[in-house]
Amino acid sequence: MRRLGVCSALLILGFGALAARVGQLQLASGAKYKDLSVELALHTVPLTAQRGSVFDRNGRDLAMSIEKTTVYADPTLVTDPVAEAARLAPVLHADEHALLQRLSDKGSAGSPRHFVYLAHTIDDGVARLVQALKLPGIGFVPESARSYPAGAVAASVIGRVRSDGPGLDGVERQYDRLLSGKPGELVVEQDPLGHDIPNTQRTRVDAQRGTDVVLSLDEDLQWQAEYSLLDQVKATGARSGMAVVLDVTNGDVLAMASVRGATATAAAGVAGPGDNNAPLTDLFEPGSTNKLITLSWALEHGRVAADTKFAVPDSIRVDPHVAPYRDAEPHRGAPDGIEHWTTADILRESSNVGTIKIAQRMRNQEVADGMRAFGLGEPTTIDWPYQPAGLLLSPSRYYATGKYSTAIGYGVAVTGMQMLDAFATIANGGATRPPHLLDATIDAKGARHSAVVPAGSRVVSTHTASVMTQMLEGVVASGTGACAAIPSYVDAGKTGTAKKALATGGYGDVATMASFIGFAPADHPRFATLVVLDENNLSYGGEVAAPVFSEITQFALQQYGVDPTDLTNTQYSAARATAAAAGASCALPHGSDLVAAQARLQARQARAQSPGAVAAKPAAVAGGVTSVPAGSTAGAGTTADSLPPDPSKHT
């Protein structure tokens, strides 16, 4: 009886102690342990916002995001990192050692690591394989992957993104804040093996999709610009090329192409997502295309009229200490070597000496003001990361030659878009039409917001613009730009062939920037187009860039249904006759013709490298080189825009 009493007492005491402990845990420390338990079970998974799409002006996808699966791990839940890495590596096509490092990285005791990425945006099939492995500590989150369905078209404009989202280049970088949206998060309760526990606490803050960006680009026209430019870069062996098409009526940039030439290791191709968008980032000396600004400003300020006559020799010395400026070709037409040209003739023949004679009537400040008024020396209105302003000499530093070099496009560094903007100003009747690449944005709710387009301003009078347009028509009809003529349309434009500055100072004789900038139809301009080819084996802008201009602009005119303005082909026939007289083919080879052109180029290059050619070359160079002191722009102005049948005549 007594033993029974003792046992009962012990049992009561035991249970009492247990009850007391349970009471203590539940009542005194309950909240603390509950928090600890929740903290251990709850996991926060970041939800990446779906990046907005990039569309062309017709709503075609240029860049879009697709939700794919991303694999992550919670290293604190991974029981056997070695085995899991070995099983995951072949499925994820990842390095086993790298996976092992990530799976083993459990963090410190104070701050354990609960989340490491194993593979971003994998294919659905791979995701299913990984899920089937049912590995502890391995989880999946949806994540956006960037896709560029148009392929290489406009790749250097659109740019690229980093694997974790932010834009690196181009539009992806410029409008990153709009495109990236707002990330969300998912809080889930998981078991010790990392599996979601159903019907438990789960908080989801949805990610907010990024804003869509609609560009003014036209995918078809962009492709045509790239295609025409690439074939010419291949045919001429150019180092690179750029082309831009602008809608003069509203400032829309319809195409912006960059092409890189062949190198020892890579074939020529359209610039990729990591490459420069050359028309907005690459600086070059414009050469004779800059004469548009000089002459427009001289006309505007009454220094000359279209029919003002000048006695133009083929060279002119502006300072006794520097070499004379020369025209590209000797003036063989005149018995004494002095041509009597009007302002229009000077532009048509792209005469450096004639332009310098016009600049002599202008003050230093006047020339500088003209450059500024046409937008040189400041970035264009296009939103673009790291867009350079260009370089302009201050009039106080013109010294003996600065004014004249500037007048003919040397000692000035511009982007292609700046020069095109200047031509678009003339095409638009003398008022600027600020170019823009962003057409509209579409927010997450689908509302479209048109982009704010900056207002234009008047630079020269409509009369000056009209006179300049007529003079530029003459350049195409019977001048250096004959190869730019477009069947059934009258167009206007200007050639440029600028020697490239040497790193050691002065200008070499080999490397040039060949360009053509113009607009069409000349009477009611709709499109302004720029084409520039870098180092194209001594061919002139009128010979290599003008045919590309013609083909691209013709495509644009037909694509947009612009009525023909020259059904009788008056300008086209006149231009063809001019080109034929100069021996220029004006051909832009494609297909089998391109193959033949490339073969001819190779043969020519082989001949040039032969011992005989090497011996002959110094003589040719000696005849034309204008040596200048290092770091000086004096004497650089030997632009060459005529259409010589033999490029070796290039001086």
Binding site for another protein (CB under 8 A): 60-61, 64-67, 147, 149-153, 219-220, 223, 227, 470, 473-474, 477-478, 487, 490, 551, 566-574, 576-578, 580, 587-594
In angstroms, give the least distance from the CB of 337 to another protein. 24
3-state SS string for 178-211: HHHCECEEEEEEECCCCCECCCCCEEEECCECCC
Min dist. Cβ of residue 497 to another protein (A): 22
CB of 109 to another protein, least distance (A): 38
Minimum CB–partner distance for residue 153 and another protein (Å): 6
What span, in angstroms and rounded, lies between the C-alpha atoms of 518 and 482?
A: 12
For another protein, give the closer residue by CB, 224 or 536: 224
Query: How would you list the strands of the sheet with 253-260, edge to edge?
Result: 269-270, 253-260, 240-247, 527-534, 507-520, 492-501
d(CA 125, CA 129): 6
Residue labelled with tokens 């590995």: 135
Nearer to another protein by C-beta: 367 or 492?
492
- Let me know: does 415 contact 390? Beta carbons within 8 Å: yes
Considering the complex, state which of residue 60 and residue 301 has its C-beta at the smaller distance from another protein: 60
Q: How far is the CB of 523 from another protein (least distance, A)?
A: 9
- Our CB check for another protein shows the closer of 368 and 476 to be 476
Q: State both tokens at 547.
A: 């045919």
Report how far residue 58's alpha carbon sits from residue 615's, in angstroms, rounded to the nearest whole number: 57
Choice between 225 and 513, CB closer to another protein: 225
Considering the complex, state which of residue 220 and residue 383 has its C-beta at the smaller distance from another protein.
220
- How many whole angstroms from its chain centre is CA 8? 91
Question: Least separation, in Å, of the C-beta of 340 and another protein?
Answer: 16
Q: How far is CA 165 from CA 172, 187, 211, 445, in A?
A: 10, 22, 14, 21
CA atoms within 13 A on the CB side of 554: 16
CB-CB neighbours of 484 under 10 Å: 35
User: Closest approach of Cβ 576 to another protein, in Å?
Assistant: 7
To another protein, the closest distance from the beta carbon of 251 in angstroms equals 25
- Residue 483 is given by DSSP the state G
Q: Closer to another protein at the Cβ: 543 or 566?
A: 566
Q: CA-to-CA distance for 564 and 557, rounded, in angstroms?
A: 8
Largest CA distance in the chain: 149
CA distance 153 to 125: 29
Q: Rounded distance, CA 134 to CA 140, Å?
A: 11
Question: Closer to another protein at the Cβ: 223 or 284?
Answer: 223
Instruction: Give whole-number Cα distances, 5 to 10, 94, 269, in Å.
Output: 9, 71, 99
> Nearest distance from residue 142's CB to another protein, in Å?
8
SS3 for 391-411, per residue? Answer: ECCCHHHCCCCHHHHHHCCCC
Among 272, 42, 54, CA closest to 147: 54
Is residue 475 within 8 A of residue 314, CB to CB? The reply is no
Distance CA 475, CA 520 (A): 13
Comparing CB distances to another protein, the nearer of 100 and 225 is: 225
Amino acid at 586: C
**Closest distance between another protein and the C-beta of residue 650, in Å?**
24
Contact assessment for residue 140 and residue 132, using Cβ atoms and an 8 Å cutoff: no
Of 184 and 487, the one with the shorter C-beta distance to another protein is 487
Q: Which residues pair with 73 in a beta bridge?
A: 116, 138
Pairing of strands 253-260, 116-122: unpaired
**Least distance in angstroms from the C-beta of 434 to another protein:** 29
The least CB distance from residue 285 to another protein, in Å, is: 30
CB of 326 to another protein, least distance (A): 27
Neighbour order of strands in the sheet with 42-47: 42-47, 184-189, 202-205
Residue for token pair 């170019």: 435
Q: Supply the minimum distance, in Å, between the C-beta of residue 552 and another protein.
A: 12
Shortest Å, Cβ 146 to another protein: 11
Nearer to another protein, 350 or 381 (CB): 350
Residue 67 or 378 having the CB closest to another protein: 67
From 180, 186, 179, 182, select the one nearest 208 (Cα to Cα): 182
Which uninterrupted H or E stretch holds 497?
strand 492-501
Report the sign of the C-alpha dihedral through residues 291, 292, 298, 299, in that order: positive
Nearest to 288 by CA among 575, 630, 636, 584: 636
Cβ closest to another protein, residue 53 vs residue 281? 53
For 363, residues 6+ apart whose C-beta sits below 8 A from its C-beta are: none
User: Which residue's CB is nearer to another protein, number 131 or number 570?
Assistant: 570
Please name every residue paired with 233 in a beta bridge, in sequence order, or none if there are none. none
- SS3 for 450? strand
Q: Which is nearer to another protein, 469 or 537 (CB)?
A: 469
What is the closest distance, in whole angstroms, from the C-beta atom of residue 606 to another protein in the complex?
24
Which residue type does 541 have?
Answer: G
Comparing CB distances to another protein, the nearer of 108 and 199 is: 199
Fill in the amino acid letter for 435. Answer: P
